[in-house]
Structure 1
Amino acid sequence: MTWQDDIRAAAARIEGHVQKTPVVTVTGFGLGYPLQLKLEQMQHTGTFKARGAFNTLLSQDVPAAGLVAASGGNHGAAVAYAAHRLGHRARIYVPEMAGPAKVALIREAGADLVVVPGAYSDALEQALAYEAETGAMQIHAYDAPATVAGQGTCAMEWEDQGLDADTLLVAVGGGGLIGGTMAWLDGSRHVVAVEPETSCALNAALKAGEPVDVEVSGVAANALGARRIGQICFDLAQSTGADSLLVDDDAIIRAQAALWRETRQLVEPAGATALAALMSGAYRPAPGEKVAVLICGANVAPDPLQQRSF
């Protein structure tokens, strides 16, 4: 079985459980050329992560002890949502930096939520301990074949919708989404990994020749804040020749504002990170090169409507 076989199987498995998210072409953002966007932030729970969560749960037997996951927030919300829809217990560990919007999503899905002092790695440590103690099934946020195959269905779906690009720009945290994208495309299109300067696990790994630990901070850290890139993503980046570049927090914030101003798409900083590479000039397309951006991450903090009463 190839990665593409696994992704096709995942797509068939999760059909009816996830949304088919729209694709739009926009001329704006000060770029002077049309840009195709896939609006994956319109997925259940606001990110692509529902794809990997459903694929994992539908392809494996879930023990009586239920599920456990560590998350910066978005993965936990997706696991909690999928577990609730499929009738499983779930315990989710998140770091304090997860943010109120993501914590609220997890609670609303009925999961047992534990907020852990520190960063994602601290939440993962406690999740692993809970797994060992109870026999609960661990769903890794990014470095597991079923997760990566599930996330790869996003790129497969995009090609089915008429993806018109030579180059795709994708934001990177732990590497599940871009790993799935690289796995599906298998070098057929140019993939550019975009990370914040202060949360750059893939970039650091490619420079070191192996996954290494990095310090994590910045406006997108609660979604792109993995301290070490997943081995699956690292291997795929090396084998497919993906490029890696960095953007600063100011560029991410400007891209986030531009998405709202020009398209009325409200995304969290992580969701705007790939666009920031184009707007800031960190990535400059060649003449005639067609580029596309994967937009993902709708869980803005604070939730702009949280205090409203309807």
Structure 2
Amino acid sequence: MAAFFGGQYYFAFDSSRQYVLQYYGPRSRIDFDGHTAQGLEAIGFVYNAEFLIGVTHHVTEISSSVEPITNQRILTFRGIIRMGGQLRDFHEIFITEGQLLRNGQIVQSTFRSVPRQAAALYQPQALMDHSQIAAFFGGQYYFIFDSSRPYLLRYYDSTSMVDFDGQVAQGLEGISFVYNANSLIGVTHLVTEMSSFVEPITNRRIITFSGIIRMRGQLRDFHEIFITEGQLIPRNGRIVHNIFRSAPRQQALPIPMQDVAVLPASQGFSADPVSADEANVVASSQGSNAPDAADVAASSHGSMSIDG
């Protein structure tokens, strides 16, 4: 859960910060490098301050624990932030209540940063374990898919392929055509399980996600496989091929809401710049009823529940 939440939270913070407020409530408190606030309005004022314009996070470490007396979950993230034109090491702690990816909230967050030493090269290698990295990617990917889909193209290139329930495409233009179909307007993913491993011959990383998707007004079970090359944290790898399959859910089968990560709806992102090819494809898609539209590394077998 911690890594999946981190993928969502830091992408939203860097790209469309107003959506970060959905994780807070009227009693929530923040302390951002000494800038303190309580309540949604005050938190929004701090997070929309001029000194935070253009910030980007690169998360390298994640940990999670439960406080035994209050049963609050403590999430900790470390990494590098570009803020005010300067690279800084950061450490952020979230104290949360409830199912954060469903109906819980951040009770308090504390952020601290210090300048990086000049000798420290900007190489934010991910120190997360492989399951955390995979979950972090899933948090980002499905958040973007459900919220601002054209920006998914940054994770593909001209040789990438997708197979979405039998609709096959290759390259940025073809992938954009499939993902911007009218049938995918308003889809919502609810991720419940993931697994990850490395294919030993090609050394490609393979990650799978399973869960529930609301598509065309119907709940469907889905299973998606991503085959990737390179290190997508930070972003210098690519999705080689992903295959999506879904089937109608049996009406008698309940949705396991306690184990579900619901991706929030939004309107779009002022995300960091896209390439010229991506920009052309995104621009061409905007006039065709396009809906509002990651980082993977995995090297150990295993599966996990998103709420685990």
TM-score with structure 2 setting the length: 0.29
TM-score with structure 1 setting the length: 0.29
Q: Which has the larger radius of gyration?
A: 2
Report which of the two has the higher share of strand.
2
